[in-house]
Amino acid sequence: METDRVAIIGASMTNFGQREAWIRDLLAEAGIACLEDSGVEPEAIDHCYVSNMSSGEFEGQGGIMNMLAHDLGLLPAYTQRVDQTSSSGGAGIYAAWQSIASGASEMTLLVGGEKMTHRTTGESTDIIASITHPDEYKHGVTLPSFAGMTARHYLERFDAPRESLAKVAVKNHKNGVDNPHAQFRKEVDLETVLESPIVADPLRLYDFCPITDGSAALLFCPESVAESYTDEYAIVSGIAGATDTHVVHERPDPTVMNGVVESGQAAYELSGYGPDDIDVAELHDMFTILEFLQMEGLGFAAQGTAWELVEDGVTDRDTGRLPINTSGGLKSKGHPLGASGVAQGVEIYEQLTNTAGPRQVDAEVGLCCNVGGFGNCVITTIMEAAQ
Amino acid sequence: METDRVAIIGASMTNFGQREAWIRDLLAEAGIACLEDSGVEPEAIDHCYVSNMSSGEFEGQGGIMNMLAHDLGLLPAYTQRVDQTSSSGGAGIYAAWQSIASGASEMTLLVGGEKMTHRTTGESTDIIASITHPDEYKHGVTLPSFAGMTARHYLERFDAPRESLAKVAVKNHKNGVDNPHAQFRKEVDLETVLESPIVADPLRLYDFCPITDGSAALLFCPESVAESYTDEYAIVSGIAGATDTHVVHERPDPTVMNGVVESGQAAYELSGYGPDDIDVAELHDMFTILEFLQMEGLGFAAQGTAWELVEDGVTDRDTGRLPINTSGGLKSKGHPLGASGVAQGVEIYEQLTNTAGPRQVDAEVGLCCNVGGFGNCVITTIMEAAQ
C-alpha cells in the first residue's frame, strides 16, 4: 500500500500593504478566500493553524486562532497558533503537514498573517529585534545591522560586485509588478537601488523588504481526499526545519546559514529530489544578501558564487533556468511576518497548478525557504505538481 | 503490522511559584531536568516545542523556542512555539504527538512555561483577558467574571450547595501538600475558602488559581524507541482538541463547555477507552466551577451532578474511585499558563509509571483536560501505562 501523500488543494492571499484592517479581519479575509478557492465547506475543516508572530505585541490581541475558527464557522475544529518568528508561515506549513500525515486531521486550514503598519518603524523594529538573543539586541544589534555586516563580509571575501545585490532587488521588483497582491507593483532600476538612503552600510533602503499588513492561506488534506475535490493540486514532497545558534556571532562562518543547509538537506532527502530538480523557488529575501545565502545553502550555487548566477540572469523569471521569487519576493510583495512563509507556499502552489497568470513559469517541482530571525530557524518545503 | 504508538519516556517540572528567573531560565531548567530524567542526550532530539502564551507581552522576549534549543545544545533540532492561550500546554502535547505519529521526529522534547509574577495582578489579568473576544473584554468582562456568572447559574439551576465548590479547593489544596513543586503546599479548610474575599460573586479568592512562574517538560518518542531506553513509560492512547464559540455569551447553555465535550469524545474514540475506564484525571481547575463543568463534559457525571461526586468524596485522592487533581491542580500547584497543560501530563505520567510518591494512586489509564480561555479551546489527552 502506498502511503497517502499530503496535498494542497486551495490557496489565497489578501492584498499586502498598508491595510485598514486588524489581524482578525486579515485572517478571515484570506481564510474565506481559501475555502472558496477550494470549494471546501467550513464544516469539513478538522484543524486550523494560524501562523502569527506577535499579535499580542503589535495590537494587544491574543486568541486569534480561536477567533478565526469562530468567525469562519469552523467549530468545533481544533485550532493552534504557530510561532517561529519570521518563519512562522513555514512552520505553519510543517504543522499542517504533520496534522495530515499523522492522521490527526483530514482537512487542515492554515492561515498566516500579521498587522504591523499601525506601529512606527522603530516600534516594529524593536518588536522584531526581541526575537534575537538578548546578549545581542540589548546592545543595539537588530536584524538589519546583521544583514549589513554579513553583506560587507560577503562582498569583500568573494570579490562580488555591490551591483549584484542590487540586481536581486531589481529582479524581484520586476516580478512583483505582475502580482496583483504585492505591496509595491513598480519596477526599480539599478541606480535607484544604489543611490537609495543607507540603512546598514553597504545595504541601502532598496535592499530591505518593507513593513506590511496582510495574510495568506493554504488548505491541506490527504491525496486520497484531494482527488474528490480537484485534479489540480500540489503535493508536499518534503519538508523540514532546523535551528542555528541563537547568538549569531557564535557561528563559525557568517556566510553559511546552517539552518538553511540542514533543513534543505532533510527536505531534499524526504522528497527524493535534489537542487538540480528544482524548477522554481521562493526564497526569504528579507534583505537582498539573504537570497545569496539561501541559494548557496540550498545547493543552487557553490559558496561565494550565487552572485554570479544573478548577474548571469539564471534566476530571472522569463528567461532563467531557475526563476527565484517569481511572486516578487518579500522585497516587493511585502513581509507581514506570519503570512510570508504561507504566501511563499501560495506562489509555488500557483506555479505548480498553472494558475500564476503572467508570472507563470514551466515548473513541476518547487521549493520555499522561510527564514526566522537571522537564520535562527529555517523551514524548507518542496512541492510537486500532482500527477 | 501494529502501528507504532506514541510514548512518553521522561518528565519534569520546576518549582512553581514566584521565581527569581526569566522565561529563558525556567524553560532551560525543566528541559535539562527532563533530559536527565530520561537519559536521552541532547543530540537525539529532532523536534522541540515550547508551549507559551505570551512571553512577548509578559517580558518583551520573543524567539524563546530557538533560544531554548541553543541553550540546551539541541541544534539543529527543529523548534516551534505553540500558543493556544491557557491550553498551550495541552496543545504542545498534541503537537509533539503529531510530530511522532507523522514520522517527522523520532524524539520530541516539549517544554511549557510562563513567567508572570513580575507583573501586577491587574497587568496579568489584562494580558489574559486579551485572549477573549474584544466584544466582551473591551467592555470589562474578564475570565474571573465569566467564572462568577457561571458559578451563580450552576448553583441556582442545579440546587447545588455553595460548599461543594469550596470542597474542590479544599481537596486540591490537600493534594498539593504532597507535591514538592506546588506553589501553595498548605491545606485550607472550608471556612477559610467560604470567608475569603469576594472576587466575582459567588466565587471568592480561594476559588481561583494563583498567578505563577514555572515550567514543565515531557519527552516523546515512538514506542519502539522507548523500549530501548526504559521499561517504565506511558502511552498517549488518545488526544484531541476542539474549539467553542469565541463569544462566550453566544453559547446555548453556560454550564456546557462544548470544547470539553467534543475533545473528550474524540479522545475517547481514538483511545478505545470511555469515562468509566479513567482511573485518575487532571482537570483544569483555574476556577473551582471549572472542575464541575469538565467532570460533566467528560462524562464522569451527568449534567448538574458533579457536585454530588465531590460531596461524596468520589474524587478524593486516597479513598475515592476517581481521584481528580492528585497534583494539587492549578488551584494549589499554580498556573503558569503555557506550563499548566504540560504539568498535567507530568502528573499523569508519574501516576502511570508509579513515580508519584506520596500522591500515588492505583491507575492504569489517566486523563488530562486543559482549557484555554473560558473553554474557547480545549485539549483532552488520555494516557495509559505501558504493558
Work out the percent of chain A whose per-residue pLDDT is above 90: 93
Kindly state whether B246 is in contact with chain A, defined as any CB-CB distance less than 8 angstroms: yes
| CATH for the stretch A6-119+214-226 | 3.40.47.10
CB pair distance less than 8 Å for B75 and A245 = yes
Give residue for cell 516539549: B110
The CA distance from A9 to A383, in Å, is 12
Superfamily of segment(s) B6-119+211-226: Thiolase/Chalcone synthase (3.40.47.10)
Work out the burial of residue A320: count CB atoms within 10 Å of its CB; fewer than 13 is exposed, 13-18 middle, 19 or more buried: middle
Angle between helical axes of B288-297 and B162-176 (0-180°, round to 10): 100
Which residues of chain B are within 8 Å of residue A73 when distances are taken between CB atoms?
A: none
Higher pLDDT, B130 or B364: B364
Annotate B267-329 with three-state secondary structure: HHHHHCCCHHHCCEEECCCCEHHHHHHHHHHCCCCCCCCHHHHHHCCCCCCCCCCCCECCCCH
Reported as a single tens digit per residue, the pLDDT across A111-141 is: 999 999 999 988 988 888 888 888 888 788 8
| Residue B76: pLDDT over 60 | yes
Report the gap between the CA of B139 and the closest CA in chain A (Å).
14
Reported as a single tens digit per residue, the pLDDT across A23-81 is: 999 999 999 999 999 999 999 999 999 999 999 999 999 999 999 999 999 999 999 99
Q: Quote the pLDDT of residue A142.
A: 86
Reported as a single tens digit per residue, the pLDDT across B111-165 is: 999 999 999 988 988 888 888 888 888 788 889 999 999 999 999 999 999 999 9
The CA distance from A245 to A253, in Å, is 12
Pairing between strand A280-282 and B365-372?
unpaired
The CA distance from A141 to A132, in Å, is 9
Selected residues 20-59 of chain A with any CB under 8 Å from a CB in chain B: 24, 48, 53-54, 56-57
Among B1, B27, B67, the strongest candidate for a mutation testing the A interface, having the largest count of A CBs within 10 A, is B67
**pLDDT grade, residue A1 (50/70/90)?**
very low
Q: How far is CA B139 from CA A53, A192, B142, B152, B249, in A?
A: 26, 50, 9, 20, 13
Q: Calculate the dihedral angle through the C-alpha atoms of A346, A349, A355, A358, rounding to the nearest 10 degrees.
A: 70
| Residue B1: pLDDT over 80 | no
Selected residues 311-370 of chain A with any CB under 8 Å from a CB in chain B: none
Residue A231: other Cβ atoms inside 10 A:
8
Q: Quote the pLDDT of residue B138.
A: 78
Reported as a single tens digit per residue, the pLDDT across B59-73 is: 999 999 999 999 999
pTM flag (> 0.80): yes
Which residue in A215, A174, A201 sits closest to A332, CA to CA?
Answer: A174
Reported as a single tens digit per residue, the pLDDT across B286-333 is: 999 999 999 999 999 999 999 999 999 999 999 999 999 999 999 999
Instruction: Name the phi and psi angles at A252, rounded to 5.
Output: -65, -35
Higher pLDDT, A4 or A162: A162
Mean pLDDT over the full length of chain B = 96
Reported as a single tens digit per residue, the pLDDT across B209-251 is: 999 999 999 999 999 999 999 999 999 999 999 999 999 999 9
ipTM of the shown complex: 0.97
Reported as a single tens digit per residue, the pLDDT across A283-320 is: 999 999 999 999 999 999 999 999 999 999 999 999 99
Secondary structure (DSSP) of A212-257: -BEEEEEEEEEHHHHTTT-S--EEEEEEEEEE--SSGGG-S-TT--
Selected residues 121-180 of chain A with any CB under 8 Å from a CB in chain B: 127, 130-134
Among B71, B79, B245, B265, the strongest candidate for a mutation testing the A interface, having the largest count of A CBs within 10 A, is B79
Which residue in A340, A378, A238 sits closest to B66, CA to CA?
Answer: A378
Q: How many CA atoms lie within 13 A of A275 on its CB side?
A: 14
The C-alpha cell that represents A7 in the structure block: 496535498
The CA distance from B193 to A201, in Å, is 64
The CA distance from B218 to B108, in Å, is 8
Asked if B259 and B378 count as a contact pair (C-beta separation under 8 A), the reply is yes
User: Where does A86-158 show beta strands of DSSP type E?
Assistant: 108-114
